[in-house]
Amino acid sequence: MPPHADAGTLAGDVTPDNPGLDATSLFGGGKPVILQVIPTLVTGGAERGCIDMAAAIQRAGGTAIVVSAGGPMARELDRYGAKHIQLPVQSKNPLTMRRNATRLTEIIRQHGVDLIHARSRAPAWSAYWAAKRTDIPFVTTFHAPYNFKGRVKKWYNSVMAKADRIIAVSGFVYEHVTREYGVGADRLRLIHRGVDVDIMSPDKVTQARMAQLIQQWRLPEDQRIVLLPGRLTRWKGQGVLIEAISRLGRSDVRAVLVGDDQGRDHYRQELEDHIRRLNLGGQVTIAGHCNDMAAAYMLSDVVVNASVEPEAFGRVIAEAQAMGRPVIVSDLGAVKETVINGETGLVVPPNNPDALAGAIRAALDLDPLQRQAVGLDGMRHVRTNFTKAGMCAATLAVYAELLG
């Protein structure tokens, strides 16, 4: 397993549990201007990481600027005193990407930007060209392996490996970047995505918040809840869970699928048809988007990730463990990093409804003491390895490494 970025060494006394970030210790008394570039600020893990880092930069005494095509999350930047500039950086049109590079160059010079950090491929090309023109450090984050089938797609992806420092969000992604792009430990850093344990904490969720979701989702009191969080898309494995619930054969269990269909009406209809065919109308709820995931985790008896393709990290499973919930995950991608099999949860073969049904049965049959032990182990695992504070500290340390 590749090493984490050493936040403690590079950033003074900063640790995951002590995010006492200040510009003096990190940047030798300077107050750097950091520009992050991301396609949109609508929803998602990359977007959440961008917002979290903007807040950390501001807290450390620097200036955070984010360039995106906009979205509802942009409003959060105002809360932290960060600046948002809207550009069509989501575009993959080569002419637009070139124009974006020119505009980014102007922004860098106008605002005295010291470092640019790109979080996706199309804006990374624009950021790369702008960084070259202005001679400032360039950082990228691989939020996923970015698979490819030919030379052209691999070349397009390769901009993420051209940076002065490349951040991988998991060991799984780290190994992909090393294998496919030949990037060594001199430039590549492992920084796991982080959970906000101040929000994802069982003692912060009130009964009123849980009751509101019970009413909204019309959940009966006599059923155990199996939660699958994730946008409605085939690779997230909602169909596998529906099939597993059918094979489980227990009327006291209800699966709740939480996540936006993001316009995939056809797939949502396919899931609804599947539920009807299996006569599971009283056992599967498609809940849609949820604004209070902490309360949703607390309602659940077990949280499932049934993905049929590798997860680059698996944020919801880390969040669920932070909330003390037993988890079940497909044996793909980064799960060996985020879940301790047999202690914080269970790992099952992907796309295997029978194995998933067996794991759900085992999780639901835990006695209260076993359940408490699993929950405490999961909370300890996340708070040791996957906190937002730790992620921010390690990323700031990467910036400091480049800025001296």
Instruction: Write a three-state SS string for 104-145.
Output: HHHHHHHHCCCEEEECCHHHHHHHHHHHHHHCCCEEEEECCC
Residue 262, pLDDT score:
76
Say whether both 377 and 397 belong to one domain: no
Task: Write down the pLDDT at residue 16.
Answer: 38
Query: Six-digit token pair at 3?
Result: 């090493």
Interacting residues of 180 by C-beta distance below 8 A, sequence separation 6+: 145, 154
Check whether residue 362 and residue 396 sit in a common domain: no
Q: Is 324 within a domain?
A: yes
- In this structure, are 379 and 392 located in the same domain? no
| Residues 190 and 239 reside in one and the same domain | no
Q: What pLDDT, on a 0 to 100 scale, did the predictor assign at position 30?
A: 73
Q: Determine the structural domain holding residue 61 and report its residue range.
A: 33-194+387-403
Predicted local confidence at residue 253, as pLDDT: 97
Query: In Å, what is the CA distance from 183 to each residue of 37, 63, 90, 126, 267?
Result: 22, 30, 26, 21, 38
- Alpha-carbon gap, residue 217 to 227, rounded angstroms: 12
Q: What is the pLDDT of residue 17?
A: 40
Listed residue (335, 330, 274) closest to 306, CA to CA: 330
Local structure of residue 241 (DSSP, 8 states) = H
Q: Are residues 179 and 270 in the same domain?
A: no
User: pTM of the predicted model, to two decimals?
Assistant: 0.88
Task: Report the CATH number at residue 263.
Answer: 3.40.50.2000
pLDDT (0 to 100) of residue 149: 76
Q: Are strands 115-118 and 33-37 parallel, antiparallel or unpaired?
A: parallel
> Which pLDDT value is given to residue 327?
97
> Do 157 and 220 lie in a common domain?
no
The token pair that represents 342 in the structure block: 């047999």
pLDDT at site 376: 97
- Predicted local confidence at residue 153, as pLDDT: 85
Domain count along the chain: 2
The answer to whether residues 94 and 76 touch, using CB atoms and an 8 Å cutoff, is: no
Q: What is the mean pLDDT of each run of 10 residues along the chain (404 residues)?
A: 47 39 59 96 89 96 97 94 97 96 98 97 96 98 84 90 97 95 95 95 96 95 94 93 96 94 87 95 93 96 96 93 97 92 96 97 96 96 96 97 92
